[in-house]
Amino acid sequence: MNSILSFKIAIQTVKDNLRISLILIGLFGVMAIVYSGMFPAFKDMLTQMAEAGGLDPFSSFFGVAALEMNTFVGFLYLEMYQIFILIILAIVVGFVAASMISKEIESKTIDLFMSNPVSRKQIIFEKFIGLVPMVLIINFVTMIAIMGTTIAIGEELNFSYLFMTHIVLIPYLLSIVSIGILISVIIDEKMKGSIIMIAAIVAMYVYQTMGQMISAIEFVKYFSLMNYTNLFDVLKFGKVDVEGFIILCTVTIVTLIIAMIYFEHKDIKI
Partner 1 sequence: MDVIKTKNLTKYYGEIKGVEGLTFTVKKGEIFGFLGPNGAGKTTTIRTLLGYLNKTKGEAYIFGKNIEDEIVEIKREVGYIPGELNIYGHLTGKQFLDFFSSLRHREMTLLDDLLKIFNIPLDRKVKGYSKGMKQMLGIIQAFMDDPEMVIMDEPTSGLDPLLQQKFYEFLQKQKKKGKTMFFSSHILSEVDKICDRIAIIKEGELVALEDVETLKSKSGKKIRLKIKEKPESFKGPKNMIVKEGYIEFSTTDNIDKWIKQFSKFTVLDLQINDFSIEDIFIHYYEGES
Where do contacts with partner 1 occur on this chain (CB under 8 A)? 2-3, 6, 8-9, 12, 16, 107-109, 111-112, 114-119, 265, 267-270
Nearer to partner 1, 118 or 247 (CB): 118
Total residues found in the chain within this entry: 270
Compute the C-alpha angle 220/221/226, nearest 5°. Answer: 145
- Spatial separation of the C-alpha atoms in residues 142 and 204, rounded to whole Å: 23
SS3 250: helix
In angstroms, give the least distance from the CB of 184 to partner 1.
Answer: 17
- Spatial separation of the C-alpha atoms in residues 55 and 49, rounded to whole Å: 6
Taking residue 73's Cβ as centre, other Cβ atoms within 10 Å add up to 20
In angstroms, give the least distance from the CB of 215 to partner 1.
Answer: 47
In angstroms, give the least distance from the CB of 196 to partner 1.
Answer: 23
Nearer to partner 1, 107 or 250 (CB): 107
Rg of the chain on CA atoms, in Å: 20
Nearer to partner 1, 7 or 140 (CB): 7
Nearer to partner 1, 17 or 59 (CB): 17
- Spatial separation of the C-alpha atoms in residues 68 and 56, rounded to whole Å: 10
Cβ(117)–Cβ(261) under 8 Å? no
In angstroms, give the least distance from the CB of 115 to partner 1.
Answer: 4
- Spatial separation of the C-alpha atoms in residues 75 and 43, rounded to whole Å: 9
In angstroms, give the least distance from the CB of 101 to partner 1.
Answer: 14
Nearer to partner 1, 118 or 253 (CB): 118
